[in-house]
Amino acid sequence: MSQHGHPGEALETTLGDPAVKQSQGSDSVERGTQLEESTVEVAANYPQADDSVETRTLLEQSAVEVAASLEPQPDGTPSENPDHAGEHRREPSTTSLVSTELPKRTRLSFALSKTGWDIALVTLTTGVFVVTAWFAQATFSVSSVSNLNSSLARMLDVNISSTLTILRSLQAVLSVLATSILLKSFEMVQWALAAREDGVGSLCLLGLSPTSSILGTLQLVCSRRARWMDRAAASARVILLAAIWISGVVLFARTRLVVEYESVKTYNVTAGVGEFNGSYIPEYLQQFQDTNAGYNYSVLPYSTVVTASNLVVNPMHSTAIDPVICASGRVCHGYLMSGGLIMTTPWPPTDYPSYPVVTIRDAPSTQIDFVRGIHNDTFVDSEDCLVFGADGFLIGIKFCLARSQSAPGSLFAGVFVCTEGKHGDECWTNTKPAEVTTTFSVYRRHALIVAARSNFSILSVDNVDVPVQVTNLDIEGLKEAYTWMFNFSAAGIPAPSSIAQYFWTVQDQLENAYWSIEPYQIFQSILAFPLWQFNPNNFGNVQLDAQNIVAGLPEDFYTTASIGDPYDKIVVDRCVSDDLPLQLFANRPGSPMFILFCTLQSIVLGLAWTVLIWAWMTNPDLPEISSYPLVDFAMKTRLVDASLPATNSHAGRDMDDGLAAAAGDKLIRKYLQNIRVVIRSKLELRPAKVPKMASEETVAT
């Protein structure tokens, strides 16, 4: 017998052995029939038989036992031959193929013998998915890679082109592998269903088969001839294939450039801009008077005038930001006053000169939103307005401040030019005076601030939390601060050198909507100055020290700063609503597009692992699945007409006729509506032929 023969060959050869040829006389035909039936029973009791050497040997030994058991007694009845019994019989054990219990070694080896390649492929795909997901989050995360160890940080610190190439390559490999394991899983399911006694419906098999086109599968989903199981199988295949494709798209659906920072040194600081505190004003102003004993005017330092003229547009102190709320048709501006690097204590270190930036974490910040003009609000002159000017000068202004009735929690303010100067407590003008007015709101926030070490400019603001509006502003304290700034006569400043002079000279600009932008920004800066100056972390608080951290400040002012080096990166799957500012989502722990990518890939991987585990637990009688599914289907299966009555075998219901070459999709589905696919048994693939029975004399010879 050839070493590489089929189990059927083993049976055929064994049945031709002299030990089997024990028949004689008129009983030879009957014994031949019994031998053939017993041989079929041997193979049927070993459903997992394959072409291994061990299996062929066991089949041969069992066939010999069957032949020996048919040797006749002297009275003509079949009986065991004592001589052969001693030579060929075995005690019941795992080597007996007549027993229906499979050898344990065969059951345990099923996972490797039948699904070894599938296990390796699914494991590889799972590993590629884990690497892709990790790389996407580790490389594209907004958090700094400085939190990682140095070698890993260097590996992830690659340029934009390289990171995109790596991630795109990983995603492409993952898509190919995921498609492969999905098709292999459906292929295993189709063969397991076909291995059942009644096989599998042809339309269901077409829905599962990897050889069916997407168009054909979609037609099965919509076909009226298909059962719900057929539609479910086809739908599952289409949906899961689509999930693999969609997962590759959503991973890159939202991308944006960001700048991250590699930190080299971290130190403790106080930083930020807190809430306005009007109680600081008297003590702050008194310290100026104490340094100039006998001076009869109030002191308005030059630094105050300069800073107050451009505070909101000065990149050392403030950053433009989207307003929290802006009604349609209104002109709105938002500014985040974080203080930047210049308001940190102590002064930043001077070492590590090659690292150009300082990042300040979770710094308290004040956001001021301005809406140009006054809407549905009016001033009461006697309560809300103050007039500033000097005798003998035409320069004069009227400043008004009040709480807004139309926007609760907000304030509205305005400067009106006195074209004829101040007379008593009245603003004189020949015509309708030029004016600049606004309504403003104040919010508390926290943010990650990045500032340049070279010029203190704020480079970026990130991780801005949800705004909380300050509705209890000390309006009397604010009026005191604005009076100190506008009352140039009380400070002994000539009218042409005062803040009022600027607004008096830009009357033409104030009457033009476009050219009034500059004076409007200066007015915004003046309104913001007291909120910035008289907060716990500025020198309006006379207890503050420039170089040493002081105790007693609100807890959120104590934070950390880091010296670092910036590099460009890409952030993927940042899902932001168009109706809300980006900053509201800066601290979101999850990224919807990345989560969707992981979910879709996990579904495909979960199905593949589920099919494998199901195969290990049920141990289906799968044929040898080759790399050529068309050949497997054509040579290892047969079609059975399910509309015919069932018999002990499918032989009476086999379909021998085929389809015309011109048959299209509809005709094929109609033809296969009642057809089931059954796997050919191993004895059908190579039937065992029972040889002619020889006489005893021939056997003896």
Sequential DSSP letters for 608-639: HHHHHHHHHHH--------S-HHHHHHHHEEE
Strands 468-469, 426-427: pairing is: unpaired
Q: Where are the alpha helices (DSSP H) in 453-562?
A: 475-486, 499-505, 507-510, 517-533
Establish if 414 belongs to a structural domain. Answer: yes
pLDDT at residue 219, rounded to an integer = 77
**Residue 448 sits in the same domain as residue 531:** yes
Q: Domain end: 572, 604, 635, which one?
A: 572
R_g of the chain, CA atoms, integer Å: 45
Check if the beta carbon of residue 557 is closer than 8 Å to that of residue 549. Answer: no
Does residue 638 lie within any of the structural domains? no
pLDDT at 72: 53
Mark whether 483 and 415 lie in a shared domain.
Answer: yes
Q: Is residue 189 domain-shared with residue 120, that is, in the same domain?
A: yes
Are 353 and 476 in the same domain?
Answer: yes
Same domain, 417 and 538: yes
In a domain, residue 659? The reply is: no
Q: What is the pLDDT of residue 538?
A: 96
120 and 44 inside one domain = no
pTM: 0.60
Q: What is the pLDDT of residue 604?
A: 92
Q: Is 368 exposed, middle or buried (0-12, 13-18, 19+ CB in 10 A)?
A: buried
Task: Tell me: do 530 and 477 sit in the same domain.
Answer: yes
Angle between the N-to-C axes of helices 53-69 and 28-44, in degrees from 0 to 180, rounded to the nearest 10:
150
Q: What is the pLDDT of residue 697?
A: 45
Distance CA 403, CA 411 (A): 4
pLDDT value of position 416? 95
- Within 17-149, residue ranges assigned H as helices are 28-44, 53-69, 82-88, 104-108, 110-140
Q: Which residue has the tokens 């001021």?
A: 368
Distance in angstroms between the alpha carbons of the first and the last residue of the chain: 21
Number of domain units in the chain? 3
Picking from 622, 640, 657, the residue at the C-terminal end of a domain is 622
How many degrees, rounded to 5, is the angle at CA 148 between CA 146 and CA 151? 100
Residues 445 and 500 in one domain: yes
For the chain, 701 residues long, the average pLDDT of each consecutive 10-residue run is 43 44 46 52 48 49 55 50 45 41 50 76 92 76 45 54 82 91 85 78 78 78 78 84 88 77 92 97 93 88 94 96 93 96 94 95 97 89 91 91 93 94 86 91 97 95 95 95 95 93 94 93 98 97 93 96 86 50 40 83 92 82 77 77 59 54 71 76 48 46 41
Q: Is residue 666 part of a domain?
A: no
Distance, in Å, from the CA atom of 96 to the CA atom of 429, rounded to the nearest integer, reads: 119
Is the Cβ–Cβ distance between 146 and 261 less than 8 Å?
yes
**234/281 same-domain check:** no
Q: 443 and 586: one domain? A: no
Q: Which pLDDT score is estimated for 684?
A: 52
59 domain-assigned? yes
Q: Is 286 within the bounds of a domain?
A: yes
**One domain, residues 358 and 316:** yes
Q: To 10 degrees, the CA torsion angle through 96, 102, 103, 104? A: -160
Residues 213, 135: one domain?
A: yes
CA distance 425 to 391: 11
Q: Is position 633 within any domain?
A: no
Asked if residue 674 is part of any domain, the answer here is: no
User: Which domain, by its residues, includes 556?
Assistant: 257-572
Residues sharing a CB contact under 8 Å with residue 44, sequence separation 6 or more, in sequence order = 681
Q: Specify the pLDDT at position 218.
A: 81
